[in-house]
């Protein structure tokens, strides 16, 4: 239960729905969403339909999502029609050799391309042909919540 204090009274913040506990992980090592114990940072609670959370490590979605933000993700089906244009998704770059292959983009579908756009103008959209989908990039899930610690908010390097 959370509470806040005003001048002369204490107010309780009551959850709107059921809360659940999910894992907060530092990175994703494969599209199978297998967490290594060393990658589990903690557990967090949420009222959203999230399956897990991750600390984001890239600047491609700056300024809406920053390095260090905690993103809560709901796993999705890999059907082409399961996402609406503009949905913010967590992807896994299957060709990524170094660093963190998990990246967030806004998703669009314009036959025959899947388009992954960044908010940060220094990054160009990623165009993936339908027949290359899941070979180059796999969509892991949909971002359902973003949390930022304003005391530790990271800026673009």
Contact by Cβ (8 Å): 137, 94: yes
Picking from 15, 123, 17, 115, the residue whose alpha carbon sits closest to that of residue 65 is 123
Query: What's the confidence (pLDDT) of residue 80?
Result: 55
Q: Taken in order 100, 106, 107, 110, is the CA torsion positive or negative?
A: negative
Query: What's the confidence (pLDDT) of residue 2?
Result: 38
Domains of the chain and any CATH numbers: 17-147 (2.10.109.10)
What is the rounded CA–CA span in Å between residue 157 and residue 3?
36
Picking from 55, 68, 43, 64, the residue whose alpha carbon sits closest to that of residue 150 is 68
For tokens 């992954």, what's the residue?
116
What is the pairing mode between strands 52-55 and 20-25?
A: parallel
Q: Which residues of the chain have pLDDT under 70?
A: 1-16, 33-36, 78-81, 96-99, 152-157
Query: What's the confidence (pLDDT) of residue 14?
Result: 55
Query: What's the confidence (pLDDT) of residue 121?
Result: 94
Backbone angles phi, psi at 128, to 5 degrees: -120, 125
Query: What's the confidence (pLDDT) of residue 146?
Result: 95
């Amino acid at each position: 239960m959370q509470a806040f204090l005003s001048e002369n009274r204490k107010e309780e913040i009551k959850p709107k729905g059921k809360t659940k506990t999910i894992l907060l992980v530092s990175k994703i090592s494969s599209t199978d969403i297998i967490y290594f114990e060393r990658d589990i940072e903690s557990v967090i609670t949420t009222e959203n339909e999230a399956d897990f959370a991750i600390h984001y490590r890239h600047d491609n979605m700056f300024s809406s999502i920053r390095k260090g933000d905690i993103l809560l993700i709901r796993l999705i089906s890999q059907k082409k029609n399961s996402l609406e244009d503009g949905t913010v998704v967590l992807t896994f770059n299957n060709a990524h050799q170094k660093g963190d292959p998990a990246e967030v983009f806004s998703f669009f579908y314009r036959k025959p391309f899947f388009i992954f756009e960044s908010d940060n103008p220094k990054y160009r959209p990623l165009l993936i042909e339908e027949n290359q989908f899941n070979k180059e990039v796999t969509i892991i899930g949909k971002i359902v919540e973003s949390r930022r610690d304003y005391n530790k908010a990271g800026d673009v390097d």
